[in-house]
Structure 1
Amino acid sequence: MPNLNEPKLISGNANLPLASSIARRMSIHRGMNIGLVEARIERFNDQEIFVEVYENVRGEDMFIIQPTSNPANDNLMELLIMTDALRRSSASRITAVIPYFGYARQDRRTKARTPISAKLVANMLVEAGIERILTLDLHAAQIQGFFDIPVDNLYASPIFALDIQAQFEGSLDDVMVVSPDVGGVARARELAKRINAPLSIVDKRREKPGEIAEMTVIGNVAGKKCIIVDDMCDTAGTLCKAAEVLMENGASEVHSYISHGVLSGPAVERITNSVMKSLVITDSIQPTAAVKATPNIRILPTAPMFAQAILNIWNGTSVSSLFETDTLEPIYEGQFKG
């Protein structure tokens, strides 16, 4: 049964521009002003985090918008403490909107005596009082099973498909989707099916962590406009190397579509000097000034999709409808133009 109250949004410090954009989109959809709940989030001298919510939230359907990106620990603690503040203020339901779910790469034991940190984070979120999770392109889909609460995992591929169809209008026959490793084939295949393009794989073998020994292209990329698809780009070493290997194998140009632009360390410099014509990321992580200033990086907005997903959760209607390109196209209101 739909709630009578309007959904209420509150944001941590991790990505305030995205939270504000979501609030604006929801205001347009609802025909009334939906702002962010006023709160004070500050640090004491010893860096302890303190939260004070200024508005009455008793009986409200609350949505906390907070990616757990760099600094991951600070942003995670902010999310947990905000949840506790809302729970103790008698909010009726608390949904965590986590556009980028940190610690997702630690989803299994890779060797003896290592943690499964993604499961630990899931336990902490549930114990804090979160009753539902809304996220985007989890690094590993099985992380949804780490929670005993509903998890809605949205996908960036419908947005990417719309953008690719606009950017490569008239030359879609020359496009080939590329997975940068064997583990990402399912994600790349999903996008390839959406735009009716062939699929190729770059197989990499590491001598040791962080070092790529050898890369082999599986599939004929000669003369193709290659689009590398992945869920995240951290230091961009693998991505830039894959682009080089594709060009060496005869690709006419290389572009990359990445859901989460972590872009730490030397990433921006590597991308600037790369053979890639463009890197397209979403705003799930707040882009730095250096990222915004890089000419071959474009940023696609996720606010329209998140705003609709929040409204669907609040209304008790389907979130999975947002997995389809046809559903997202009108939400983005003709934004994708070549």
Structure 2
Amino acid sequence: MIRGTVMIIGGRDLIVSLPGAEELGSRISNLLRCEHVTPYTKVFPDGESYLRLKGDFEGKEVTLLSTMYPEQNRRLIELVFASKTLVARGASKVRGVVTYLAYARQDKEFLPGEVVSARIVIDMLKYAGIGELYVVDVHKPEILNGFGGPSRNILMVETFASFLRSRGVDNPLIVAPDLGASHRAEALAKEIGGECVIIRKFRDRVTGEIRHELPEGFHIDGRTAVVIDDIISTGGTMASIVSFLKRSGARRVYALASHGVFVGKAVERLISGGADEVAVLDTLSRRVEGVTYLDISHELSKHLNSC
């Protein structure tokens, strides 16, 4: 757990935690010593969502905390509803803090007519009146450029580094599954003091089989490897890399990710592939057995104080 001094948000500020983010919001409000509000919510028999925000928001700066998994569609509409309502009730600023941004992986049109969901979601949040947007490890940070206002992609490297130190990990090899994940691996390597490497992936054109390689000059015999990505979904990619690293001589392999979606038998796939431990941030409300969840409240609180 990240420790250290946490400054106090000004007396006019408060945190509103939407469904799924209540526990995290409570921890953050305790650290920042500010008011914490949770809306009354229910689902009508036809599936539509109802929210009611009680309290005086006139002239106040509100941090609106949300996570969008599970139930992505409902969580997204709740965030839009809540922000529009806060603005209508006189909030001077709504700061959106989204620990998991749904629909972020479709960031471009690969086939004609495909919906670019990441861009549309960002537009929805702008429309909702969110003035500042802070997201925990979004899949493609570039999508925040379309927000138009202050925004930040937050990498929780202090939290990951603290976890690894608690396990006695020293001078690890931090592994990025691909080039797109290199910024995350490089940041963690800098924080904990280790080497960073990007795995090379090759697909056999005949069989379709995927094989991995380490860049020339990297040796892993007897070392601890840490594979880090933004999301573990089915676990297939991560498991294949973990297995490759173990076959290459790694003594221990940790499988880390910011967001643990864990579809189907993802955790079992990782463990059978050779992962010594699977650890993710507590950015989602869902919990899966066999996974270590890392508390982000301390590091996220520090980021909110620097906004």
Aligned to 1:331: none
1:306 aligns with 2:306: no
Query: How far apart are 1:35 and its partner, in Å?
Result: 4.0
Q: Which of 4, 28, 34 matches 1:22?
A: 28
Tell me, in whole angstroms, the C-alpha distance in 2 between the residues paired with 1:186 and 1:304.
Answer: 22
Query: How far apart are 1:215 and its partner, in Å?
Result: 2.6
Segments of 5+ residues of structure 2 without an aligned counterpart are 1-7
Q: Which moved more, 1:198-207 or 1:95-104?
A: 198-207
Tell me, in whole angstroms, the C-alpha distance in 1 between the residues paired with 2:9 and 2:21.
Answer: 27
1:282 aligns with 2:288: no
SS at match of 2:107: coil
Query: How far apart are 1:76 and its partner, in Å?
Result: 0.4
Retained in 1: the 8 A contact 2:122–2:144? no
Q: Which has the higher helix share?
A: 1
Q: Which of 179, 184, 187 matches 1:182?
A: 179
Query: How far apart are 1:38 and its partner, in Å?
Result: 4.4
Name the amino acid aligned to 1:281.
Answer: V
Retained in 1: the 8 A contact 2:232–2:238? yes
TM-superposition CA deviations, 1:240-297 (whole Å, max 9, x none):
1111111111111211221111212221332343410011211111232xx2x31xx2
Change in 2 beyond 3 A, CA 1:305/1:186: closer
Change in 2 beyond 3 A, CA 1:112/1:194: same
Aligned to 2:3: none
Aligned to 1:234: 233
Tell me, in whole angstroms, the C-alpha distance in 2 between the residues paired with 1:136 and 1:275.
Answer: 28
Name the amino acid aligned to 2:230.
Answer: D
Name the amino acid aligned to 2:270.
Answer: I
Tell me, in whole angstroms, the C-alpha distance in 1 between the residues paired with 2:95 and 2:300.
Answer: 12
How do residues 20-169 of structure 1 correspond to structure 2 at under 5 angstroms?
A: 20-27=26-33, 34-168=34-168
Q: State how many pairs are aligned.
A: 296
Tell me, in whole angstroms, the C-alpha distance in 2 between the residues paired with 1:194 and 1:4.
Answer: 30
Aligned to 1:11: 17
Change in 2 beyond 3 A, CA 1:303/1:4: closer
Tell me, in whole angstroms, the C-alpha distance in 2 between the residues paired with 1:67 and 1:205.
Answer: 35
Q: TM-score, normalised by structure 1?
A: 0.81
TM-superposition CA deviations, 1:64-89 (whole Å, max 9, x none):
11112221111101101111221221
Query: How far apart are 1:59 and its partner, in Å?
Result: 1.4
Aligned to 1:192: 189
Tell me, in whole angstroms, the C-alpha distance in 2 between the residues paired with 1:13 and 1:212.
Answer: 42
Tell me, in whole angstroms, the C-alpha distance in 1 between the residues paired with 2:99 and 2:263.
Answer: 18
Change in 2 beyond 3 A, CA 1:220/1:110: farther
Query: How far apart are 1:196 and its partner, in Å?
Result: 2.6
Query: How far apart are 1:212 and its partner, in Å?
Result: 6.2
Retained in 1: the 8 A contact 2:256–2:279? yes
CA RMSD after TM alignment:
2.2
Change in 2 beyond 3 A, CA 1:223/1:133: same
Tell me, in whole angstroms, the C-alpha distance in 2 between the residues paired with 1:94 and 1:37.
Answer: 14
SS at match of 2:199: strand
SS at match of 2:121: helix
SS at match of 1:273: helix
1:202 aligns with 2:196: no
Q: TM-score, normalised by structure 2?
A: 0.89
Retained in 1: the 8 A contact 2:13–2:35? no
Segments of 5+ residues of structure 1 without an aligned counterpart are 28-33, 313-317, 320-338
Query: How far apart are 1:120 and its partner, in Å?
Result: 0.5
Retained in 2: the 8 A contact 1:80–1:125? yes
TM-superposition CA deviations, 1:150-188 (whole Å, max 9, x none):
10222111222233233225xx24x21111123222321
